[in-house]
Amino acid sequence: MKRYILFILTFITVTTSSFAQTSNITQPELLTLPVYKGNVGKVVFLADTINLTRLKQTDLLNQFEARPQNNLYMRFFIANSLTNYQHQLNSSLSVEDSNKGNFQFTFYVDGRQIYQENLNKGANLPATKNTKTTISVPLISNRNEDSWGRGLWYRFTARGGDDALITGEHLLKIEVRPYINIPDLKVGEIIAQGGLRFTVPPPDTRAVQVQAIKPNSGWQVSSELFDQNKIMAMNGLIAQNKLKDITSIVVIKNGKLLIEEYFNGSSRDSLHDPRSVGKTFASAMMGIAIHDGFIKSENQTLKDFYDLKKFNNYSPRKEGITLKSLLTMSSIFDGDDNDSDSPGNEENMYPTPDWAKFTLDLRVDSAKTGGKQWNYFTAGAMLLGDMVNKSVPGGLEKYADEKLFKPLGIVKYQWPYSPQHVPSTAGGLQMRSLDYAKFGQLYKNNGAWNGKQIIPESWVKQSFTKYLTLPKDVVGEGCYGYLFWNKTYTVNDKSYETFYCSGNGGNKIFVFTDVPLVVIVTATAYGKPYAHPQVDKIMQEYILPAVLK
C-alpha cells in the first residue's frame, strides 16, 4: 500500500512539473480548419498566396518547376505559437525576451544540408510570434512582395542553394525550429518540416549561345578570342534566373567591342536606368568645367557659389566645405544615405521642392572633419551638378551635350531633372549600354577620344586616386576616388584593379587600370540584396576568366 501511495505521489509530482515546464505564456490562435488539422507540423508549398479559409489540400504542391514565371510560397503549420515553444526552451524568459529570438530554418537538397539560418528577430512582429500557429511567406515571387521569405530564399541560394539546384530534379526539404538567444543561443526540436520535388529545367539553347555582334555598333569589333564556354555558362544562369534582372553586358578590350549581350527584353537601343552610375558624370563635368576656367578648382568652397547665410543652419564651417569633399563623399554635411535616420538621407531630399536648398539647409555634423570620413551622400553629388549648372554658359545640359556627349557620338540619352529643371547628377542618367561603354573607355584612354582630349588627363588621374578607404561594414573592401569606386578582383591568383561607377540594381561601368578592359553591366535588381554580389560573381567567375586567359 505504501509503495502504491509513493507511486501516485511521484506520478503527480512529475506530471505537475512537466505541465509547469510546457504551459503556455501566451494564448495561441485556435484553428479548427481541416487544412490546419491535417497539416500540423508540416511545411507545405503553394503556387500562389491563398487565404487560409479557402485553402484546400489540393492546393498544396508536390513538385515545382523553376521557371521565371512560376511563384513558390511556403506555409508552415505548428501546434503552438513560437513564443510558447521558446518558453519551453527557457521558462524564465519574459515574452519580450522570447521575442528576441525567432524561427530557425534548415534547407536540404537531395538529403544534404545546404543552409541554416536563425531568422533575424525583426522578421516577424511580436503579435505573430505570440499567437500565430500558421505563417505564409513567398520564397520565389515575381510580384516583388516585401517579405522576409524572399530574403531567406535569396540567402539560401547565394550560400550554396544555386550550386546544389543544378539542372535536373531534386528533393528540397525545409525544417523549422524555434530558437532563443538570451542568455545564450538555444535551439529547439523540429516544429514543422516538409519538402517537394524541385525541378530546374535546362535553359533554352538559344538563350545560352553567345550573341553575335550586329553591324553598326559604332565600335570596331574585336577579333580576339575569348572563352565562349564561360560566357555561355553565364548566359545559362541568366536564362534560368539564377543571375537575376540582368539586362546587358558589354565588354570592350583593347578599345574594341568584344562581347555584346542583352537579356530580359532589352536590346542595343534600350535606354537603361543605372541609378547612381549617373553621379560619376558630375565628376566628369566638374573636371571639364575646371579645365575651361568656369570653375577655378576642386578646392573652391561653397561660399564661392552660394550665399550660405540665406540658408538654414548657417555655420562658418559650412563655408569651408570644398568641392573635393563632395567629390569624395567626405563633406561635413549631416548626411548619410546608409543611415535611414540621417537628416541628409536622399529619401528626405526627393519630396522637397528645391533639392539644392534642401542640401544647403542641412546642419554640419560636429563629429566630422572634412575629407576624413566617407559617408555616401547623394545630395552632395546633386549639388556638384547644380554648381556646374550655375557656372557654365547655357547651363549643365547644353554644356554636357557640347563638351562630352557629342564628342563621344552619344545622341540618345535622357537626363532626370530636379524640381528646378536642372539635370540631376544624383543619378539616373539613361543611356544605351554601348554609350556607357564610351564613357568608360574615355577614362581608360586618359580622357582622350579619337585624338581629342575631352577630359583633362590630370583629372582622370585625380579621379582614379584612392582618397578614402571604404568602411567594410557598409560596402566591403575598396577605396573611393572622385565619385569613382575602387576594388580589386583576384582571378587565378592574379589581381585586377578597377575603378568603377556603381548604381542601385547592380549597374556598373568598370575601368580596369592594368589591363585594357572596360566592362558594362546593366540590371534592374533595384533594392534587391543580390544586386551587387551577383555582379561580383559575374566578373569573378565568368567575364574576367573568359577574356583574360
Residue pLDDT, tens place only, 426-464: 999 999 999 999 999 999 999 999 999 999 999 999 999
Residue 467 has a pLDDT of: 98
Residues 285 and 421 in one domain: yes
* 430 phi/psi in degrees, rounded to 5: -90, 135
Which residues pair with residue 102 across a beta bridge? 179
Averaged over 176-183, what is the pLDDT? 97
In the 8-state DSSP scheme, what is residue 170?
E
Beta-strand ranges (E) seen in 6-147 are 43-46, 63-65, 72-77, 102-109, 112-118, 134-140
| Cis, bond preceding 28 (omega within 30 deg of 0) | no
Q: What does the buried/exposed string (b/e) look like for 96-106 if buried means 16 or more CB atoms within 10 Å of the residue's CB?
A: eebbebbbbbb
Residue 292 and residue 235 in one domain: no
Compute, in degrees rounded to 10, the torsion defined by CA atoms 132, 133, 139, 141: -60
For residue 461, give the amino acid letter. Answer: K
- Whether residues 161 and 299 share a domain: the answer is no
Please report, for residues 12, 43, 139, 212, 239, the alpha-carbon distance to residue 78 in angstroms, rounded to integers and kept in the order given: 29, 9, 19, 54, 37
pLDDT in tens, 43-79: 999 999 999 999 999 999 999 999 989 999 999 999 9
Kind plus residue range of the DSSP H or E element containing 462 = helix 457-463
As to burial, measured by CB atoms within 10 angstroms (0-12 exposed, 13-18 middle, 19+ buried), residue 449 is middle
CB 200 within 8 A of CB 239: no
Let me know whether 319 and 255 are in one domain: no
Domain contains 30? yes
| Residue 477 confidence (pLDDT) | 83
The answer to whether residues 312 and 370 belong to one domain is: yes
CATH number of the domain enclosing 321: 3.40.710.10
Candidates 283, 344, 351, 284; CA nearest to 318 is 344
| Residue 162 lies inside a defined structural domain of this protein | yes
420-433 pLDDT, tens digit each: 999 999 999 999 99
Assigned domain for 401 exists: no
- pLDDT digits over 516-535, tens only? 999 999 999 999 989 999 99
How does the average pLDDT of the chain come out, rounded?
A: 94
Judge whether 497 lies within some domain.
Answer: yes
The answer to whether 175 touches 190, Cβ cutoff 8 Å, is yes
CA distance 13 to 17: 6
Domain membership flag for residue 404: no
Residue 319 neighbours by CB distance under 10 Å: 14
pLDDT at residue 22 in the model: 57
Domain limits for position 109: 22-200
Contact assessment for residue 216 and residue 200, using Cβ atoms and an 8 Å cutoff: no
What is the pLDDT averaged over residues 4-22?
38
Q: How confident is the model at residue 475, as a pLDDT?
A: 78
Per-residue pLDDT tens over the stretch 333-369: 999 999 999 999 999 999 999 999 999 999 999 999 9
Task: Give the domain-ending residue among 200, 230, 245.
Answer: 200
**pLDDT for position 537:** 96
Confidence band for 129, pLDDT divided at 50, 70 and 90:
very high
Q: What integer pLDDT is reported at residue 525 of this predicted model? A: 95
Alpha helices in 274-403 (DSSP H): 279-291, 316-319, 323-327, 346-349, 355-361, 378-391, 395-400
For residue 37, being part of any structural domain is answered with yes
Whether the Cβ atoms of residue 28 and residue 81 lie closer than 8 Å to each other:
yes
In terms of domains, do 366 and 239 share one? no
Inter-CA distances, 500 with 136, 262, 444, 465, 530, Å: 41, 21, 11, 12, 18
Average pLDDT over residues 392-411: 98
User: Cα–Cα distance between 314 and 360 in angstroms, integer?
Assistant: 9
**pLDDT band, residue 186 (cuts 50/70/90):** very high
Which residues have C-beta within 8 Å of that of residue 42, sequence separation ≥ 6?
Answer: 76, 77, 192, 193, 194
- Phi then psi dihedrals of residue 164, to 5 deg: -85, -35
- The band of 8, judged by pLDDT with boundaries at 50, 70 and 90, is very low
Q: Residue 251's closest CA among 511, 431, 513?
A: 511
Within a domain: 6: no
* 238, pLDDT greater than 60: yes
pTM: 0.91
Over pLDDT 90: what percentage of the chain? 93
Q: What is the pLDDT of residue 18?
A: 36
Q: For Cα atoms 455, 539, 67, give the angle at the middle one, nearest 5 degrees.
A: 125
Among 409, 510, 433, residue whose Cα is nearest residue 268: 433
Measured CA distances, 76 to 39, 72, 114 (Å): 8, 13, 20
What grid cell was written down for 364? 554640419
Task: Find all residues with CB under 8 Å of 326, minimum gap 6, and list them.
Answer: 377, 380, 381, 383, 384
Same domain, 152 and 27: yes
45 & 88 share domain: yes
**Dihedral of alpha carbons 156, 157, 161, 167, sign:** positive
For 278-294, what is each residue's pLDDT tens digit? 999 999 999 999 999 99
* Domain final position from 143, 165, 200: 200
Q: Which residues pair with 256 in a beta bridge?
A: 253
Q: How many domains does the chain have?
A: 3
Give the H or E element holding residue 520: strand 517-523
> Residues 168, 49: one domain?
yes
Exposure of 491 by Cβ count < 10 A (0-12 exposed, 13-18 middle, 19+ buried)? middle
Pairwise CA distance, residues 124 & 401, whole Å: 51
Last residue of a domain, which of 200, 223, 249? 200
> First-to-last CA distance in the chain?
89
The answer on 355 and 461 residing in a single domain is: no
How far apart CA 105 and CA 123 sit, in angstroms, is: 13
| Contact in structure between 429 and 385 (CB atoms under 8 Å) | no
Q: Are 452 and 514 within one domain?
A: yes
Q: Tell me what pLDDT residue 369 has.
A: 93
**Same domain? 40 vs 187:** yes
Looking at the domain assignment, is residue 8 inside a domain? no
Q: Check: CB of residue 334 under 8 Å from CB of residue 342.
A: yes
Phi, psi for residue 105 in degrees, rounded to 5: -115, 135
Contact by Cβ (8 Å): 246, 506: yes
